[in-house]
A and B are shown apart, each in its own frame.
Chain A
Amino acid sequence: MTEKIVNTAEFERTLKLLAALPAPEGLAGRVQTRLGAPAAAPVRGRLLPWPTERATRTVWLRAAIAAGLLAAVAAGGMTAYRWVAPAPMAHTVPARPAVQQNFSTAGAMRTPLTLNGPVALPAAKSKSARIAQSKSPEPH
């Protein structure tokens, strides 16, 4: 029981020590600053002066400068376009792969179909000869 009381006092001393640590110097000031120092000097919003009068007076000058810049950019673009030669038109045929996908011929040679040679027909007989032949008796 005595041990328990000693322990209790021991750890409570540590916690109280930690709880009683002083805050760092200037803490409130830093917090105030980061909050935007509302109480010190309220910052009022202010509009930036816009040079409207001068803008209307020099509008033609600004337009001329803008046009000049535009022309310079366009001329530069054209020059660059002319410098770059167009690529020649070329039709390329895709190379076929030299891979044989069928069965091999096993060395067999293709032979064309044999054509019949020229047939010598007997000369055509005249009409009188044909009649004479028909009239002659047939041999038995």
Chain B
Amino acid sequence: MKRRPSLFSLLGVGLSLVCAGPFGSSRCGGASPGTGGEDAPPWLSLELPALPATWVATAVGRGLARDFESRLEAIHQLGCHLAASDIAVLYRYLLDPAYEPWLQPGQSYALKNDILNALRAQSLPPPELTHLLVALYRSTGQPVVMRDYALQHIAPWYARAGAGERAELVATLEAASREHAQGYAGTALIALVRVQNENATACVGSLTNRILEILRDDAASLCARITAVQLCGLLNLTNTLVDLRGLAAGPRRPPTLRLAAMASLRTVGPTAGPPPVQPRPGPDVSEAIPLHGGAEAVTAALAAAPPGAAISDRSAPIQRKTL
């Protein structure tokens, strides 16, 4: 039965991705402030009208209020019936990697993330959104965070994208997953799993092989490798038992990688459990982790930072409201 459109969905409520929070870096690679960013791609050919004093103008920082909260509120007011000209304005802003010095680090990413949410929530799928996401990922002039966000948005966008565009979306994720040196290779793996799980007809290639390639690549980025390890557990890839044991036991492995491996071992090898490796004293924090206590013990060890190690300058909320 055809679902009835609901009032609230028409109002654009129900955004999906949540990317608010702390950012480890304030780097916004690419263009310097005020350059306007890269040339627009050929598919973005709409002439921009003069910006009206609307939510859209505020959203992209060209309204009267330019502070983060006002812009965030404006984005949440965009609704789901944006005009083509408004969508073009948003596309331009999303593709512009220029640093916005009046925002705190990471805030422009949060705004762009919520704009992508608003675009995906349009009642009529915005034309060219697929190309925009692909372009954001492919553009080396974009900050890595935005390239990562583009990959994150591909998974929920897949179901609404045109049938002819879906192969391109999967190909983009697969390409990203092959960039083992980048943390977003892990993001791409997660997105591929989501596409496969949430779309019965999705044609995702040999996903297991992609996971194994990163899992077994010692040169892969830590973030990507952690994700590969986590997915072994999530997907119960029993043929990775030996790999996971090796990663969990390796005393010189990064603690976070070992923690992820131990967590996955609880699924992949529930009867085996973590191997009882005795910790050895040494300066490497990973060596101080009592593996025989299980992942919880590793967590506790990670939390046992020496006095003064806590980052007091980062203990404040990064953005958004407090409770």
Do A and B form a real pair? Answer: no
